[in-house]
Each structure stands twice: as structure tokens, then as C-alpha cells.
């Protein structure tokens, strides 16, 4: 089994989605971090994690992408995996694709990513449908993709957070084998629905000064792998 450095995380070392959203915007506006650069970092780390969970490059990998930046990261991962020789299928969950996510999608197609679902079951499904701005209720087409994914017995990976998982009362959500959180551990890691899920955090290139401003304890000293595996510590103080 592949290994990433493992770190124990307490709840007070994680960020709420609102706090992370604020931190993300602050880093972009104050440190000249282009969204495209952060999207490329997210997609590359996602592709690396997907490669660790796959068995055979010739077996299909499905990436479900939305119209926002989370979907853009999924398209980057699709492009990188295709360049590495994987058979990648991509599926848009929205027709409202524009701006940078649209460019990333177009790049993926040019790299040979297949713009349709495979006929048979894939070896792995990536959830890059909705990002940290998702809110209930979910649109019917998203629910359909969640149901499609959950009924297939394969590895499933969510980028940043599982689509449809809002709180401990959520019942209709993408059920991940693993979650790759971006930049920092998030409070959603502590939900009971993710008790048996493999949790990871990937480096987006946000400087330590930004973590110091929003929650210095959420800062991880990323090493060369740029990904940490997270072990939940439910210790309270």
C-alpha cells in the first residue's frame, strides 16, 4: 500500500467551510495567487492520488465535473491522468460552463479525455461536482449522478468535500472511499459519515502568513509529497 506522511488532526486544527472560503479569497487577493495556478495544483494532487488507487491504466476512470472551480480542478486531473496514459472519461453535470473551468475542460478533451460515461463500470469515480460553496437542496441531475456513483462497487474519491454532504443529517451524498481536502483540514472531516473514509490534505501553495491570520493551527508543514494523510483525533480540551 502506498504511503503518505500521516498527521493527527483535532477539530480545533480544522477550518469551517466559511472560514476556508474567506481564507482562499484572501490568499488570491493579497498574495497574487492566480486561481488558475491553484486549480492546477489541486488537479495535479488529485491525479496523483487517483493514480495510487487505480489498478490498471486501461480500465476506465470517471471524473464528474461541475461548472465551478472544483470542476476545473477535476478537469485538470483528467488531463494529467490522460497524459500519463490512463483511460479517462469526463462528464459534465451542468451546461453552464464558462470561464476558466470551461478552458480546463477543453484542454482535457484535447489531451484525449473521453467526453462521455463508459459503457461498463469504471475502476474509479472522482467527485469534482461541487466545491465549498455548495448548498442544499441539490438539483435533480446532481442527485442522479450521486445515485449512479454510489451503486457502483468501485473506489470513489471526492475533491475537497463530498457532494451533498452538508452535516451529520445528510443522507443523500457522494459516498467516498477517500477525500482530498485542499490546503487545510476541514471540519467536515469530523462528520460521522466519513468515519471510515481515507482523508488527505494537499498543498495549494498558500503561504503560512495566511494560515496565521485565519487559524494558525490548521497550517501543515507540507513536505516534498505535498499530501498528508489525516488521522482524526477526537481529543477535547
List, for residues 12-42, the tens digit of each pLDDT value. Answer: 999 999 999 999 999 999 999 999 999 999 9
197-207 average pLDDT score:
96
List, for residues 79-98, the tens digit of each pLDDT value. Answer: 999 999 999 999 999 888 89
pLDDT of residue 224: 79
Separation between Cα atoms, residue 109 and residue 119, nearest integer Å:
18
Show Cβ contacts of residue 137 under 8 Å, excluding neighbours closer than 6 positions: none
pLDDT over 90 (residue 1) = no
* Matching residue, cell 474567506: 22
pLDDT over 60 (residue 4) = yes
Show Cβ contacts of residue 233 under 8 Å, excluding neighbours closer than 6 positions: 8, 9, 10
pLDDT of residue 160: 96
% of the chain surpassing 70 pLDDT: 98
pLDDT of residue 236: 55
167-181 average pLDDT score:
96
Nearest residue to 222 via CA among 182, 192, 191, 170 = 182
pLDDT of residue 237: 46
List, for residues 38-87, the tens digit of each pLDDT value. Answer: 999 999 999 999 999 999 999 999 999 999 999 999 999 999 999 999 99
pLDDT of residue 3: 80
pLDDT of residue 179: 98
pTM for the model = 0.96
pLDDT of residue 95: 84
pLDDT over 70 (residue 152) = yes
Amino acid at each position: 500500500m502506498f504511503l503518505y506522511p500521516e498527521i493527527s488532526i483535532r477539530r480545533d486544527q480544522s477550518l469551517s467551510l466559511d472560514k476556508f472560503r474567506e481564507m482562499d479569497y484572501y490568499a488570491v487577493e493579497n498574495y497574487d495567487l492566480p486561481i488558475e495556478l491553484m486549480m492546477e495544483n489541486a488537479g495535479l494532487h488529485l491525479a496523483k492520488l487517483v493514480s495510487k488507487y487505480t489498478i490498471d491504466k486501461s480500465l476506465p476512470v470517471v471524473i464528474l465535473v461541475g461548472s465551478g472551480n472544483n470542476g476545473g480542478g477535476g478537469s485538470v486531473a483528467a488531463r494529467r491522468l490522460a497524459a500519463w496514459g490512463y483511460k479517462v472519461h469526463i462528464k459534465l453535470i451542468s451546461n453552464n460552463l464558462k470561464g476558466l473551468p470551461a478552458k480546463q475542460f477543453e484542454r482535457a478533451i484535447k489531451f484525449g479525455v473521453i467526453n462521455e460515461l463508459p459503457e461498463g463500470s469504471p475502476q474509479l469515480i472522482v467527485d469534482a461536482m461541487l466545491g465549498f460553496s455548495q448548498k442544499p437542496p441539490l438539483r435533480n441531475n446532481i442527485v442522479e449522478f450521486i445515485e449512479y456513483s454510489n451503486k457502483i462497487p468501485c473506489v470513489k474519491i471526492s475533491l475537497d468535500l463530498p457532494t451533498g454532504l452538508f452535516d451529520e443529517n445528510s443522507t443523500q451524498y457522494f459516498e467516498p472511499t477517500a477525500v482530498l481536502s485542499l490546503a487545510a483540514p476541514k471540519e467536515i472531516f469530523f462528520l460521522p459519515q466519513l468515519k471510515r473514509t481515507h482523508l488527505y490534505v494537499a498543498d495549494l501553495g498558500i503561504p503560512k502568513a495566511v494560515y496565521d491570520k485565519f487559524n494558525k493551527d490548521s497550517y501543515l508543514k507540507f513536505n516534498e509529497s505535498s499530501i498528508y494523510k489525516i488521522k482524526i483525533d477526537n481529543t477535547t480540551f
